[in-house]
A = this chain, B = another copy of it.
């Protein structure tokens, strides 16, 4: 609408829409006290065992330091366990806990409902195209991140 918006369309849309989604998730799941990031991390652990934090960081597309902080919080809440890696004393082996599975069982339907509501009025074809465009955007942006190491 304004000239300004034109100038930062993609960044504005991605960031703003992402923020709206994050806020909606927070509202819906307030009583569980998990952020979208903690939820996403737990999901990755659900069907995996002995994952190191380094490996997990790759799975959730975050850096190791950030991943470590989120893991720490989930451990304090009792939703995952950090066991020593017998073959590498620097590393942990992460496991989701029973409490973690239980909270996921509550959160997953909420996340799915939110997902459904977010896509309301959007056809399957449109979703597919959206997905395909997102892939290309990610590829293009990923190349920019990788190629230009200072």
**Interface positions of A (Cβ within 8 A of B):** 2-4, 7-25, 27-28, 30, 36, 39-40, 43-44, 46-47, 61, 108, 111-112, 114-115, 117-122, 126, 129-131, 133-134, 136-138, 140-142, 144-145, 148, 150
Contact = CB atoms under 8 A, between A and B. Distances in A.
B61 A141 contact: no
Q: How many copies does the complex hold?
A: 2
Nearest to A112: B7
A4 B47 contact: yes
B27 A148 contact: yes
A147 to B, nearest CB: 10
B117 A137 contact: no
A99 B26 CA distance: 39
A118 B145 CA distance: 11
B22 A11 contact: yes
A17 to B, nearest CB: 5
Given A118-B141, A145-B23, A14 B18 contact: yes
Contacts of A7: 43, 108, 111-112
